Structure 1
């Protein structure tokens, strides 16, 4: 693989200005700042970066970011409990972290972090290709710091963990290993692959929320379908829940359809579509899916059990309670007949409404009460079925009902 070392060819002018300001801030504060992680990896591989990932050494992140705010007009977006900060500067997004070490007690939990130097910071990272740093100086970038042979692994096109307990400490790295492998077209290094296979069973040690976040992140990747199939091939979905079946939908469509910007709720419904409906709720709970997903799954079950509908009003009554997200998924995944009915409902029936109101019926002599609603329901059914159209036609229909 050809590797780039002249990073400024790949960095925009606004990014250069931001890096110079970061380097200046570090110099004024007498600390070290580094471009790190995926930013360095992508630049080495000739890929332009969107966000800027930096680590600062020998200083509290809050102090550094507040200095950037008061001195250079940075806008702080948020701090996290792990000693990180997201800010914007010169139109660029910058993720700032302190150089740190991490421990995982118990295994699979979120890490406990404490200050460390840059070498220890790079040693805690997930893969060698993400464990490089470049010093940010006031006027330039320094030489690549590569204590874990990340450059060599990029040249070899392999994904390699940094220690044997990597997947045990944090099983989300299983998802990331597959994601990087497919995205970069790299192979898992032999020992890394063996460690991954032996650690799949430990996925249950991480929270359902973290598991779901990793899957959703994958589902927004251009090669999401291939990533999901690879996860399935190593047994990840069965490890999450024994009845979790990757839908056949992902076999051919997802790499293209992921460009449609599915919502998280829709992605959850798509993921569960081929699993036995009897287990939908327990699978959803195993990944801490939000309540909106459970509601959408109820709608999906309605659509899966949809019988042949003779009239538009029958279709409407069957589907009016189904959330929009479930409708969108049903159109993509149901058989052609049911998909066509759902699409017709979504596009032609769901937004229909009467021109008349209860007051119009009362003015025709209908007594206020339940009968008003009953008559309006009949008129609305007639509207859906094409028997009436417009206010005058609706009023004439009411008159025929009360004559």
Structure 2
């Protein structure tokens, strides 16, 4: 059978430089993994390229650097036997071909030098074991020992070896399988899916940071629900996001039911993914209802209720981020705010939209009011076309009102026109609760539309309020 060649994949001059460096060192080299897979799938130009040397990857990187203009710096990671260099906007990682063996307690392998075949055996999936030769004798030739090309054509995720060995050795591969299935819209081979289910609790030995990195990639795929449904099906989700698992199921009491909030959540995440690539807004969509499980109650008059689920959910966001070692910074606070306010625009959309209600929404949401509206629109999952159109039309009215009020009143991130210092000077006050009372009163008056958001009106209101609570202006 004739060998397939993909010299067109290797048109970047960097590959000829690697070939020349390999010849100088009298070793073999191959480009392997994601670069080859994505080229065949026509997924755009890869910026990260993995090169395997049958010999020292570090020495090959240093030799390549000598052949490149400016001799770019080589970053060496001796513990891993790898080296990296950047050239022309591309990041190249060089590693020596190796074979690996594992113990049950750790995902850190015992590593020995090996052949290209050994290196391909240790790869996670057949589609990532594809290699192109960078050697002069067969430059561009495809080496595909596990029929990875066929799996690409059949859109199949399959392990090169027995999946139990692949997943037990490195349990992160279970998440990677689901991530690739989600990103590429591929199917995981049945035996592989069964093996993930069997080995699901092995995910516990993987660092939270590595797990979250894969969850991010699933969330950023075109249809994240595919990945989360697989995480649920295989039993991985309870080990990572038990808060989501708790949302699954429909309870019935006295003939009354509620929707399954787990599957509803996945619909919301898919909806928002059609309009934004913002990772943290997608996280907000994923977590917007997590407070419903702990707040669910049945009331004979009201039916099923989830009182204050937004407040409870926003508190749960902090605990979840902390447990997963995610950033406890402005990203977390953004997700908290979105969860806390996720129902606010819904109330506005279902009633007559007043200026004061819109002013409060803009003030509380601040610079994130547009994100909040995007989240609320994604939260419409009704299958009734008439209701769907009505809800979206109502939200558009709220958006129009926000634009109108914002232009007129400049409420977003506003500070009362009168400062605390001016209040102190006017009434000869030292720092005291009266200052806060007056500032809050001015803010409320502006939000309620009693006075415009202007200095003179705010100053007059300050004097009136101060006198009302028993203060005397200095000039009287």
1-side partners of 2:359 and 2:184: how far apart?
Answer: 50
- Name 1:162's counterpart in structure 2: 160
- Name 1:171's counterpart in structure 2: 171
1-side partners of 2:177 and 2:30: how far apart?
Answer: 24
SS class of match (1:388): coil
Q: Which moved more, 1:138-147 or 1:293-302?
A: 293-302
Q: 2:145 aligns with which of 147, 170, 174?
A: 147
Deviation at 1:121, TM superposition (A): 0.8
Instruction: Tell whether the 8 Å contact from 2:54 to 2:96 is kept in structure 1 after alignment.
Output: yes
- Name 1:65's counterpart in structure 2: 61
Q: Which moved more, 1:198-207 or 1:164-173?
A: 198-207
Instruction: Tell whether the 8 Å contact from 2:362 to 2:411 is kept in structure 1 after alignment.
Output: no
Q: 2:134 aligns with which of 136, 139, 143?
A: 136
1:41-60 Cα offsets, whole Å, 9 max, x none, are: 23344544312221222114
Q: Which moved more, 1:177-186 or 1:319-328?
A: 319-328
1:183-236 Cα offsets, whole Å, 9 max, x none, are: 445433343233233223433332332222111111122232322223323333
Instruction: Tell whether the 8 Å contact from 2:30 to 2:51 is kept in structure 1 after alignment.
Output: yes
SS class of match (2:143): coil
- Name 1:257's counterpart in structure 2: 273
Q: CA 1:349/1:249 → structure 2, altered by over 3 Å: closer, same or farther?
A: farther
- Name 1:49's counterpart in structure 2: 45
Q: CA 1:173/1:10 → structure 2, altered by over 3 Å: closer, same or farther?
A: same
- Name 1:398's counterpart in structure 2: 462
1:278-332 Cα offsets, whole Å, 9 max, x none, are: 5946654553333347655654564368797995599479947999999588646
- Name 1:374's counterpart in structure 2: 437
Instruction: Tell whether the 8 Å contact from 2:102 to 2:110 is kept in structure 1 after alignment.
Output: yes
Instruction: Tell whether the 8 Å contact from 1:129 to 1:159 is kept in structure 2 after alignment.
Output: yes
2-side partners of 1:228 and 1:333: how far apart?
Answer: 17
SS class of match (1:355): coil
1-side partners of 2:131 and 2:361: how far apart?
Answer: 59
Instruction: Tell whether the 8 Å contact from 1:313 to 1:381 is kept in structure 2 after alignment.
Output: no
Aligned residues: 394
SS class of match (1:222): coil
1-side partners of 2:347 and 2:361: how far apart?
Answer: 13
Q: CA 1:202/1:271 → structure 2, altered by over 3 Å: closer, same or farther?
A: farther
Q: CA 1:58/1:324 → structure 2, altered by over 3 Å: closer, same or farther?
A: farther
Deviation at 1:19, TM superposition (A): 0.8
Q: 2:113 aligns with which of 104, 112, 115?
A: 115
Task: Structure 2: give runs of 5+ residues left out of the alignment.
Answer: 246-261, 295-312, 349-353, 381-390, 468-476
- Name 1:289's counterpart in structure 2: 326
**TM-score, length of structure 1 as denominator length:** 0.79
Deviation at 1:34, TM superposition (A): 0.8
SS class of match (2:161): coil
- Name 1:356's counterpart in structure 2: 418
2-side partners of 1:47 and 1:191: how far apart?
Answer: 27
- Name 1:7's counterpart in structure 2: 6
- Name 2:264's counterpart in structure 1: 248
Deviation at 1:124, TM superposition (A): 0.3
Deviation at 1:99, TM superposition (A): 1.8
Q: CA 1:68/1:374 → structure 2, altered by over 3 Å: closer, same or farther?
A: farther
Instruction: Tell whether the 8 Å contact from 2:223 to 2:273 is kept in structure 1 after alignment.
Output: no
1:113-171 Cα offsets, whole Å, 9 max, x none, are: 44322111111001122112122136972422223332343455432212231111222
Q: CA 1:363/1:197 → structure 2, altered by over 3 Å: closer, same or farther?
A: closer
Q: CA 1:255/1:38 → structure 2, altered by over 3 Å: closer, same or farther?
A: farther
Task: Structure 1: give runs of 5+ residues left out of the alignment.
Answer: none
Q: 1:303 aligns with which of 341, 345, 361?
A: 341
Q: CA 1:220/1:351 → structure 2, altered by over 3 Å: closer, same or farther?
A: same
- Name 1:32's counterpart in structure 2: 28
SS class of match (2:61): helix
- Name 1:230's counterpart in structure 2: 230
**TM-score, length of structure 2 as denominator length:** 0.68
Q: CA 1:367/1:393 → structure 2, altered by over 3 Å: closer, same or farther?
A: same
SS class of match (2:99): strand
- Name 2:91's counterpart in structure 1: 93
- Tell which has more relative contact order, 1 or 2 (C-alpha 8 A, sep 6+): 1
SS class of match (1:55): strand
SS class of match (2:341): helix
RMSD between aligned residues:
4.1
- Name 1:21's counterpart in structure 2: 17
Deviation at 1:22, TM superposition (A): 1.5
2-side partners of 1:358 and 1:184: how far apart?
Answer: 56
SS class of match (1:260): coil
Q: Which moved more, 1:183-192 or 1:329-338?
A: 329-338
Q: Which moved more, 1:291-300 or 1:149-158?
A: 291-300
SS class of match (1:289): coil
Instruction: Tell whether the 8 Å contact from 1:108 to 1:171 is kept in structure 2 after alignment.
Output: no
